[in-house]
Chain A
């Protein structure tokens, strides 16, 4: 009994330690499978409030938010629309905390416009960034692109491009594009032109450059496919039932390059080729 009393503390400690090791192991396993999905930590406070609360730390909090967003998106292939809404809030907060931060609108454009299918949200941030960074032509450039490419609003795109073209050191092409968009034109061609311009930006990192050149490749491929489908229709009076028929019937030597793992969406009834 005495021995038991003396060792009671040791026994209790061992019991708790065993439970701890067991439960911590379970937790780590679970959270490993879920990846970073639990770790997105964006408080649902309105951006103006978070600015108040951040005080003198607004800069680093903005950095931290963007880092989180970037890593969260990077480590999750399936992001639901609800989660994108949270991410959007994160961008708005980061912007409010540091409206001059280039990273914010770069990432907003890359993720919200392209991945999340929320071009309006991206545009909001870009336009706000443009108002703050009056010397920077890029926000207007991206916003204009989004208006024309995603929203098919050539008029607004044109207005923005022409306005942005007035900024010192803005590329001349902005003015050209602005005037071209005033006339409705084939989307793919103009898109490729804008993207090629984006590629010349020295500030882009390797990942962004690859994204853009992949996009150029796929747009070119779609252009090629589109032309081939129209040609097939001319010859056979119907649209091909699959894209492989274009090769089979020697309209194309081979299907054009698709740098993504996802396949094209082709509708044999309307001959429409899409890629999201």
Chain B
């Protein structure tokens, strides 16, 4: 099985890497880092936090663009342009196709996060040199890297969901909208629930709370992977507490891919 998955992953990866749009996204990321340095220099307040936060946010932003405008398009093109015939007419099963494609696209996202992560670190370091920025006392490069790793995991979760939406819907635009909505709900779900519960607007037994609880089991809780604020402000943080979220992320990806395979098997191409 592995020896079928790898060629699919390989051609997906190479095809993406040679795509000019990818370079546009990376270039945009690098430009944003340059702007980061200029911006932080313009203001005299909480510079370190601005630089770190903006650096990490740029990595996230580029990853999101890769998913919404790149990955979904590529998957849909496979279906629409029937490139998929050339793969499935060979002894490659639908499962191997899905897993191979996912690995290929994941590698692209990993590389993008790595490249932009290094640029982010560099722009923060450069800010400390050029504008005499003082990093928060509890700041550490280890935690900075951990934040990027967690962000990347969150992107991979979104990618696996994008796969499912592409399989379920017939148009790339529908898949795009569904992925976008899932992203927003995933990021804000916990927040909204806490706000509603703490302002005591609704009783814990109300239907809305039950619905939110239900949604929090089905949709991914992406805010768990967002530790940008903690890193930027140098707040106390226990890295071992990230073990459960990592298992959560990986298992969620696994579930989405299994469901994608299931839907794909039923789908006529």
Contact = CB atoms under 8 A, between A and B. Distances in A.
B229 A41 contact: yes
A55 interface: no
A2 interface: no
B219 to A, nearest CB: 11
Given A45-B50, A68-B191, A20 B255 contact: yes
A19 B250 contact: yes
A36 B53 contact: no
A72 B245 CA distance: 23
Given A20-B248, A67-B199, A44 B254 contact: no
Contacts of A86: 229, 233
Contact of B49 (A27, A35, A44): A44
Nearest to A92: B45
B194 A23 contact: no
B261 A39 contact: no
B244 A27 contact: yes
Contacts of A117: none
B250 A26 contact: no
A82 B235 contact: yes
Nearest to B187: A41
A25 to B, nearest CB: 9
A3 interface: no
A70 B199 contact: yes
Nearest to B217: A24
A9 B96 CA distance: 11
A43 B229 CA distance: 7
Contacts of B221: 24, 27
Secondary structure at the B interface, as helix, strand, loop or mixed, is helix
A251 interface: no
A261 B57 CA distance: 43
A73 to B, nearest CB: 9
Given A19-B251, A23-B247, A27-B224, A39 B194 contact: yes
Contact of B254 (A12, A45, A71): A12
Contacts of A68: 191, 195
Interface in A91-139: none
A44 B50 contact: yes
Interface in A1-18: 9, 12-13, 15-18
Nearest to B248: A23
A262 to B, nearest CB: 22
A26 B244 contact: yes
B235 A15 contact: no
Interface in B189-228: 190-191, 194-195, 197-199, 216-217, 221, 223-224
Contacts of A44: 46, 49-50, 53, 229, 232-233
Nearest to A28: B216
A75 B198 contact: yes
B44 to A, nearest CB: 9
Contacts of B247: 19, 22-23
A31 interface: yes
Given A15-B254, A41-B191, A41-B229, A49 B235 contact: no
B233 A75 contact: no
A70 B232 CA distance: 22
B54 A45 contact: yes
A27 B248 contact: yes
A30 interface: yes
Nearest to A73: B198
Nearest to B190: A39
Interface of B: 39, 43, 45-46, 49-50, 53-54, 57, 95, 190-191, 194-195, 197-199, 216-217, 221, 223-224, 229, 232-233, 235, 241, 244-245, 247-248, 250-252, 254-255, 258-259, 261-262
14 contacts: A16-B254, A16-B255, A17-B255, A18-B251, A19-B251, A20-B252, A24-B248, A27-B224, A27-B248, A36-B198, A43-B53, A46-B50, A67-B199, A68-B191
Given A35-B198, A39-B195, 11 more contacts: A13-B255, A16-B255, A20-B252, A20-B255, A30-B241, A38-B190, A41-B223, A49-B43, A71-B194, A82-B235, A89-B46
